[in-house]
Chains A and B, each alone.
Chain A
Amino acid sequence: MSAMADVTFERIAAAIEAGASTRRPDAKVAQRFRPGDRVRVRNQHPWHHTRATRYARGKTGEIVTAHGVFVFPDSNSQWRGEDPQHVYTVRFTARELWGDEAAPNDSLCLDFWEPYLEPA
């Protein structure tokens, strides 16, 4: 969208609609986890930017989906390069995260980069 010449609405629309995916399908990165695996969110509390939410740290859930490889924000946010990693949707029971106050049949799904996870 930094086209300085001939800026038309349609050129802008085309640039928006092309998107800016952070998926890196060509990156050769071994996939550690598979759907169905039990995983725990690592007890890590970095000062830098991360997308591992505090409320899930140390909690155990199940891999629902393996999404492929994406730019890793912990590295990229600090201008340290893309370091692409596998991303997974992990499902937790509500009680795992919030204790017995939570409904017994509710759940939460969060998306994690592989370095946030360890086998449970």
Chain B
Amino acid sequence: MAGHRHDEPESGIVLRVKAIESLLAEKGLVDPVAIDHLVDYYEHRVGPRNGARVVARAWCDPAYKARLLEDATTAIAELGYSGLQGENMVAVENTCQVHNVVVCTLCSCYPWPVLGLPPAWYKSPPYRSRIVREPRAVLEEFGLTVPRDVEVRVWDSSAEIRYLVVPMRPEASEAMGEDELAALVTRDGMIGVAAV
């Protein structure tokens, strides 16, 4: 999916989608109002702020962190997040010994309930092809240097398990409350291409 040119679309694709939606609606197979709601949900109800709350809670509450690492689906649902592409979650924790990073080399699998829909780069051939073979070089391009003595562990989402990286809590953050901490957590940190 390298040809993601995001300038003005050709009217061809716009008309084709209109044609298909109208035909499917006439056949009773889709409801345009439901489509509006689906889009609204994925534009506003889910996104990385969800995952950031999960991470911040794990940083503040050791018992929650233990539950998250043991059964991420249930722990994430405790905070109210669940559903499509997150039915079988695993949380992987960054430590001084291991840095985790997630990909779907075969398509674009991604934990929607905690991170929303994936960015174009995550779905692109350069990321999908290179992160498994040369993760350290890719992470450098993202601005992250992983020390040689830290293991880089790449998780390829080749089945229905969806992965959430729990970044390391930043130093000098002891005084911060959960909301402040959540604001530090980025989507890239929860994919594993950033430190936090």
* Size class of the B contact interface (CB-based, 8 Å): 35 or more
CB neighbours (8 Å) of A53 from chain B are 105-106, 156, 158
CB of A120 within 8 Å of the partner chain: no
For window 6-35 of chain A, which residues contact chain B by CB distance below 8 Å? 7-9, 12-13, 16-23
CB A74 to nearest CB in B, in angstroms, measures: 12
Chain A at the B interface: SS class: mixed
CB neighbours (8 Å) of B49 from chain A are none
Q: Among B33, B45, B156, find the residue whose CB has the most chain A CB atoms closer than 10 A.
A: B156
CB of A100 within 8 Å of the partner chain: no
CB neighbours (8 Å) of A12 from chain B are 34, 37-38, 41
CB neighbours (8 Å) of B78 from chain A are none
CB B47 to nearest CB in A, in angstroms, measures: 14
A9 B153 Cβ-Cβ under 8 A:
no
CB neighbours (8 Å) of A13 from chain B are 37, 41, 45
- Distance A80 CA – B136 CA, assembled complex (angstroms): 41
A108 B154 Cβ-Cβ under 8 A:
yes
CB neighbours (8 Å) of B83 from chain A are 16-19
CB A16 to nearest CB in B, in angstroms, measures: 5
CB of B60 within 8 Å of the partner chain: no
Instruction: List chain B positions with a Cβ less than 8 A from chain A.
Output: 28-29, 31, 33-34, 37-38, 40-41, 45, 82-88, 90, 105-106, 113, 132-133, 135-136, 148-149, 151-161
Instruction: List chain A positions with a Cβ less than 8 A from chain B.
Output: 1-4, 7-9, 12-13, 16-23, 51-53, 55, 65, 67, 70, 87, 89, 91, 94, 97-98, 102-103, 105-113
